[in-house]
């Protein structure tokens, strides 16, 4: 009988990392590893790191050190780093953090079982040497699909088709294993990014943009529905570019109705949209397709033209407000969220005032605000006219206060609306909690239901908003209201 091998996956960062972790889990389980939830119960703790900004990198290092502390006190024998930070720094991370028994890059994912077994046996697998992953794929998007078969693309594992089964004949199993029971799951639509935002290092370690085949996205969605998933969220570095390497930049408009038609799926949500790439047809599909929620995760980053040009981005306050007006003309209750960077090199008080003008007029449901800091390897790190750290901190605090006030006001505007709530948890302490169509997981607040009677996790219920708690809504299920009226 083979020796029992246990592994725990600790995931940090974004929803894309969550998909990657579930792919790793699928590969490991297929090779006989037993997946456990707690690192202290695992022979190997695999930490899927985030390498986006300094705060995220610190969290990743802390998670690795925390897992390392388990060694000698329980079952844990090895701690291994994977993910964006491991890919981005490779040997440098391994040398700086000897507590990690292995630092594995994306190229190791296909052989993750062998890599972990080597480390568990006391062997050493050489940490990879980081490289610019944009250079692994052709410059021309049209030539990338064939080349992509030879490049490690986390989250792009092919969907398995049983022998003799036609592509449209039913659910197909991806190389993925769910690590939770939440009725929501992310599906990777693409990987990488062709944009060259001056503050962002992601393309260098995630690579150039490459789409997944629609058949694989559909197959994975069908499989997730079989697992009890009710909402799928499409994730990538830039969903608005989907299909450009497949010869059809409007492929997302075709794919979304097909995903919404999958049996068992009640909601399809699209994240990570670029304002400069939004097009009328996509807005129409997002606002007018049954089960596709009118939700717009728009990456504005700023609204002052001079700052946006320095960021190598496009747009301005009035164009962005016009885009939001177009969306709300078609779907008045549409949800909109965005992130912003303040204190960018060269940002003036006038630029900041322009951003505040945009935020005040935009009526966003969720706002993330970050203070600028240099990211190694980015163009912005070489810019002159850097602002003092105390100035950046002051502007961050100022805009964060405004953002908190504005999203609370936006929540209050929704009092009296009827929202469709996906119930995600029910317990004695918090009661029934879920999310409306305008709220994405983790980032956009939630709906606190006044009654859990007759409800279950995964059910969608219509509820009337009767109050707010900051960005969160308080809502009464209409079924309960009807019973009270009787």
Which amino acids are annotated as binding site for [4Fe-4S] cluster, given as ranges? 14, 50, 84, 193, 197, 200
> Rounded to the nearest 10 degrees, how much is the dihedral formed by the CA atoms of 234, 238, 240, 245?
-100
Place of tokens 């996205």: 217
DSSP string for residues in 22-74 = HHHHHHHHHTTPEE-SSGGG-SEEEEEE--SSHHHHHHHHHHHHHHHTTTTTS
Those residues with Cβ within 8 angstroms of residue 465's Cβ, 6 or more apart along the chain or in another chain: 414, 415, 416, 417, 418, 419, 447, 473, 474, 475
Q: Are 15 and 235 in contact (CB under 8 A)?
A: yes
Crossing angle for the helix pair 280-288 and 251-260, to the nearest 10 degrees: 10
Sort 25 into a burial class: Cβ within 10 Å, 0-12 / 13-18 / 19+. buried
Whether 88 and 60 have beta carbons less than 8 Å apart is answered as: no
72 in the Ramachandran plot: left (φ > 0), alpha (ψ -120 to 50) or beta?
A: left
| Closest to 137 (Cα-Cα) out of 211, 69, 74 | 211
Residues at the annotated binding site? 14, 50, 84, 193, 197, 200
SS3 430: coil
Of 63, 391, 70, 340, the residue nearest 199 (C-alpha):
340
């Amino acid at each position: 009988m083979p020796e029992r091998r246990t592994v725990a996956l600790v995931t940090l960062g974004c929803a894309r990392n969550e998909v990657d972790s579930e792919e790793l889990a699928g590969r490991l389980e297929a090779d006989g590893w037993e997946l456990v939830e707690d690192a202290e119960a695992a022979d190997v703790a695999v930490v899927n790191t985030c390498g986006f900004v300094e705060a995220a990198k610190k969290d990743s290092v802390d998670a690795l050190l925390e897992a390392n502390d388990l060694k000698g006190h329980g079952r844990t024998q090895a701690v291994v780093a994977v993910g964006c930070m491991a890919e981005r720094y490779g040997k440098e991370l391994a040398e700086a953090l000897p507590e990690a028994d292995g630092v594995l890059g994306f190229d190791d994912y296909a052989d993750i079982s062998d890599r972990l077994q080597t480390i568990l046996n006391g062997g050493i697998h050489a940490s990879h040497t980081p490289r610019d992953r944009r250079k692994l794929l052709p410059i021309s998007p049209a030539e990338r699909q064939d080349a992509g078969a030879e490049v490690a693309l986390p989250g792009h594992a092919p969907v398995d088709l049983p022998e003799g089964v036609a592509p449209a004949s039913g659910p197909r199993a991806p190389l993925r294993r769910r690590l939770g029971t939440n009725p929501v799951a992310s599906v990777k639509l693409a990987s990488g990014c062709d944009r060259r935002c001056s503050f962002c290092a992601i393309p260098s370690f995630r690579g150039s943009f490459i789409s997944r085949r629609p058949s694989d996205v559909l197959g994975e969605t069908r499989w997730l529905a079989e697992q009890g998933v009710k909402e799928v969220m499409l994730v990538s570095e830039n969903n608005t570019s989907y299909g450009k390497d497949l010869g059809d930049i409007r492929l997302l408009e075709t794919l979304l109705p097909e995903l919404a038609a999958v049996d068992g799926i009640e909601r399809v949500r699209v994240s990570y949209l670029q304002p400069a790439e939004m097009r009328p047809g996509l807005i129409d599909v997002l606002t007018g397709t049954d089960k596709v929620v009118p939700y717009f995760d728009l990456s504005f980053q700023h609204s002052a033209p001079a700052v946006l040009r320095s960021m190598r981005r496009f747009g301005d306050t009035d164009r962005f407000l016009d885009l939001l007006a177009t969306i709300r003309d078609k779907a008045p209750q549409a949800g909109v969220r965005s992130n912003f960077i303040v204190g960018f090199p060269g940002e003036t008080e006038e630029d900041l005032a322009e951003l505040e003008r945009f935020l005040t007029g935009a009526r966003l449901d969720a706002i993330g605000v970050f203070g600028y800091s240099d990211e190694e390897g980015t163009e912005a790190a070489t810019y002159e006219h850097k602002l003092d750290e105390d100035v950046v901190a002051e502007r961050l605090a100022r805009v964060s206060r405004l953002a908190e006030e504005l999203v609370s006001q936006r929540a209050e505007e929704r009092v009296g609306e009827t929202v469709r709530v996906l119930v995600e948890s029910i317990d004695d302490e918090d009661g029934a909690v879920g999310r409306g169509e305008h709220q994405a997981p983790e980032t956009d607040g939630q709906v606190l239901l006044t009654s859990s009677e007759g409800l279950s996790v995964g059910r969608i219920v219509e509820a009337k908003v009767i109050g707010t708690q900051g960005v969160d809504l308080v809502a009464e299920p209409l079924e309960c209201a009807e019973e009270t009226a009787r």
